[in-house]
Amino acid sequence: MSFIEFKYSNCFSKINNYKNYLNLLKNSKELDSIIGSSNFLKIINNYDEINKVKKLCTDLLGERKKPFKKFCIFGTGGSSLGAQTLINLLPGKNKETIIFFDNIDPIIFNERLDKIDILNTCFIVISKSGKTPETLSQFSALLTKCEERGIDIGKIKKNFILITENSKNPLSSIGKEYDLLLIEHDKNIGGRFSIFSIVGLLPAYLAGVDIEKFIKGAKISLSDALEKNTIFHIEGASLTSCLYQEKNMNINVLLTYADSLKAFGSWYRQLWAESLGKNRLGSTPLHAVGTLDQHSQLQLYLDGPKDKFFTIIKSNFADQGAIMHNILGKFDASYLSNKSMGDLMHAEQNATIQTLINKNLPVREIFINKINPESLGSLIVHYFLEVIGVGIILGIDIFNQPAVDEGKILTKNYLS
């Protein structure tokens, strides 16, 4: 059972190593080993994380006479983007209970924090290492705010959940100091790979996402890949690597049309950039949003340097949404008259794809009939596996990120 379909145009002409890479990955013991041994994929095939999340929420919410009004997530990068990707699926009203603090703009942070009813808010603080300066600054600023308002942390310790490694680090030490709830972050799952863990699932479940369906979609796609029922990930990794190496297409454009995939685009950029941008290798991920970026980026895509590979995620929007008024027929816009907004969206995504094809640009279409937790789980698994494949082809360790350490050291130096 496949939740997503793939179609390729202008991708395979004059590339030499595609079949070689395809066969390499089809027979790769390294690929099978990484998939089989990686905790971020292994947890898909058991329901321990789901049970852990549900029990935590039952305990957390059951002890209160009144439910929390809001849930605030302190975290950055992978500690936040996975949950945001899941919650982005929900209608606007459902999203309002979860507030993400993923940046440290001092003005905006302070303004937003001042509006928070601390006594009726649950704060979930996430940092794998427990040393992330941005997250520590957010959390400690909240502690200062509590002191300023005369709030005793000891009396509201049930308002805090800290997710971090089981090690001696600043976040866990603060948690123990105040006797706050500490949840272990699997040390073998990096932030950008943590969406199927409690890091992604807990905020999503609190917001109302059906995390069981999310895991179900992931499980089906992972099983299909392991059993070689589908090779979409192998095709994608081989094709992307060939276009990068042989055609110098070093910009990987992901164009999504559904607003429910905006956060997914940010998640994708982190996964691709941090995993594959090493040793002077790796293509640059770029996320564009249709139809918005048709009016800001498409001119460059069509008529600029031919250094881009395009993946367009499309869905079925036909006959959906508000109906446009027939008055348009009087003013040289009859093509819109009595059509739904979904009809326009559907036409625009197809027109953009065809225009790229007509310009002889390499295009991969990923069609998702309905964007929901199951299809999102499938899409996430696809990109995990594709990134693993590209890493094997290019000889890159996808799990580290050594180059960013210098910036962390310099930040400390500037503050010292």
Does 10 have pLDDT greater than 70? Answer: yes
Domains of the chain, residue spans: 5-37+213-403, 40-209
d(CA 164, CA 177): 15
Of 7, 325, 408, 412, catalytic: 408
5-37+213-403: CATH superfamily: Glucose-6-phosphate isomerase like protein; domain 1 (3.40.50.10490)
Query: Per residue in 216-264, pLDDT tens?
Result: 999 999 999 988 888 999 999 999 999 999 999 999 999 999 999 999 9
Chain position carrying tokens 């302190």: 74
What's residue 324's pLDDT?
Answer: 87
Query: Per residue in 154-176, pLDDT tens?
Result: 999 999 999 999 999 999 999 99
d(CA 157, CA 250): 49
Of 165, 235, 274, 386, catalytic: 274
Residue 274 known to be catalytic: yes
What's residue 23's pLDDT?
Answer: 96
What is the CATH architecture assignment of 40-209?
Answer: 3-Layer(aba) Sandwich (3.40)
Does 63 have pLDDT greater than 80? Answer: no
Both tokens assigned to 165: 């490694």
Both tokens assigned to 101: 């603090």
pTM here is: 0.95
Of 66, 168, 295, 330, catalytic: 295
Straight-line distance from the first to the last Cα atom of the chain, in angstroms, rounded to the nearest whole number: 56
d(CA 201, CA 52): 10
Average pLDDT, rounded, for the chain:
93
Q: Taking the C-alpha atoms of 402, 408, 413 and 414 in order, what is their torsion angle to the nearest 10 degrees? A: 130
Fold: same for 5-37+213-403 and 40-209 = yes
Query: Per residue in 257-301, pLDDT tens?
Result: 999 999 999 999 999 999 999 999 999 999 999 999 999 999 999
Q: Compute the half-sphere exposure of residue 287: CA atoms within 13 Å on the CB side of its CA.
A: 17
